[in-house]
Structures are given as C-alpha cells and as structure tokens.
Amino acid sequence: MKHNDRADESDKRVLRRQILQVRQGLTAADMRESATALARQARALPELQQARTVAAYVSVGSEPGTLALLDTLRARGVRVLLPALLPDNDLDWGVYTGEGSLARVRHGGRMTLSEPAGERLGPDAVTEADVVLLPGLAVDARGMRLGRGGGSYDRVLARLDRAGARPALVVLLYDSEVVADVPAEPHDRPVHAVVTPSGVRRFG
C-alpha cells in the first residue's frame, strides 16, 4: 500500500464519519419524506423503467429508505434481487417478494440487516441484473462512490467485471451527499447515476 492509498483511506474515514453524523440527526419524518421522494425520482429513471431484473438492498438505520422503491419495482413486474451478507463480507442474493419475504439477520456484533428469507441464488446471481442499486455515503462529480468500507460492493463490481456484465450502476443518496470530491483508490470505479430525493444526476 503506497503512502497515497493510506492518505485516501484516512480521508475516506473522515468523510464517512461526517456523513454518518448528519444522517444520525435525521428525524423519522425526514426519513419517510425522503424515501417517498427517492422512490418517485427513481421510478422515472429510464434504466429502471426498462429493467427486468434489479439488484437492490433494504436500507438500514438512517440510510435513504428503499422499501417504497422495492415495492414499486415489484408491482411493475420487475424481479428484485436482495443481498444476504456472507461471513467473508461477500454477498449472496435472493428474490424480494414483498415485506413478508424479509428476515432480520444479526451479523455478529456488527449490525442487523433485513435479508431475503427464501432460496439463495448464489453470489453470481447479481450478474443477471440490468440495474444494480448501490448503497453509499457520498458520490462526487466524477461519479466516484464512497461506500461504508466493508468491501462487499467492491466484490460485486469485480464480479460484474469478470462476467462481462454491464448493468447500470445507480447509487441512492440524500441531496447533501453529492459532494465535490470523494477520495478514490485505483480499484474504485464510477457509478452511472445518483438518485436523491430532489432528482437524478448522471455521470460520464
């Protein structure tokens, strides 16, 4: 690891902390409003309108809410894949068939996630997606995404690359999380668009 990579990593940590602090200050009403607006903006995204399979995720805590969007996609007949965290931080996938198809899973002392309760399709299932919705904490003017640092989605993106899959990569954020600059490392790759409660921004 070069000195620069270390600097990027510590810059990422600082930015993560700042954003999580702001998120923790959101009220339940703020989050409900944002989730509704986010679903409305995402519904209008041509990539999502044309998609047959979408890899998504269930928001946790103060993340921009995704359940309204998942239900909208499902009502439209889209096959929605949701991740299940594996012990090595990789992601397996299962199909979302409504809120009743989710199970709360506690991962060690780290976090409790809502994951698909049904059949597991294997980590490669994500390569069938037309759109991959990515969680994140920020995105910059180049489309570089700041993740939470667990590396799960770095693996997903690497797997898509290896399979030659080219889904649209879309990150869901709050308006204030579109920033001037995200510290990037060589393996980071840009997303195609960001959806926030006030609109859509495309990159490259």
The whole-model pTM stands at: 0.93
3 state DSSP class of 5: helix
End-to-end CA distance of the chain: 29
141-191 pLDDT, tens digit per residue, is 999 999 988 889 999 999 999 999 999 999 999 999 999 999 888 878 899
39's enclosing H/E stretch is helix 28-43
> In a 10 Å sphere around its CB, with 0-12 CB exposed, 13-18 middle and 19+ buried, how is residue 58 labelled?
buried
pLDDT > 80? residue 7: no
Number of domains within the chain: 1
- Measured between alpha carbons, how far is 169 from 104 in angstroms, rounded to an integer? 26
Q: What pLDDT does 1 receive? A: 46
- Measured between alpha carbons, how far is 58 from 157 in angstroms, rounded to an integer? 18
Q: What pLDDT does 148 receive? A: 86
DSSP letters along 100-155, please? GGEEEEEETTTEEEEEE-S----GGGGGG-SEEEE--SEE-TT--EE--SS-HHHH
Q: How many H helices and E strands in the chain?
A: 5, 11
Known binding-site positions for substrate: 58, 63
Determine the average pLDDT of the residues in 13-18: 93
pLDDT band with cut points at 50, 70 and 90 for residue 5:
low
Known binding-site positions: 12-16, 58, 63, 145-153
| DSSP letter (8 states) at residue 178 | B
Known binding-site positions for ATP: 12-16, 145-153
The residue to which tokens 């239900």 are assigned:
71
Domain that holds residue 46: 3-202
What CATH number is associated with residue 91? 3.40.50.10420
Q: Going by C-beta distance under 8 Å and a sequence separation of 6 or more, which residues neighbour residue 148?
A: 16, 135, 136, 137
Strand partners, 146: 138
DSSP-derived pairing of the beta strands 138-139 and 145-146: antiparallel
93-109 pLDDT, tens digit per residue, is 999 999 899 999 998 77
- With pLDDT > 90 as the criterion, what percentage of the chain qualifies? 82
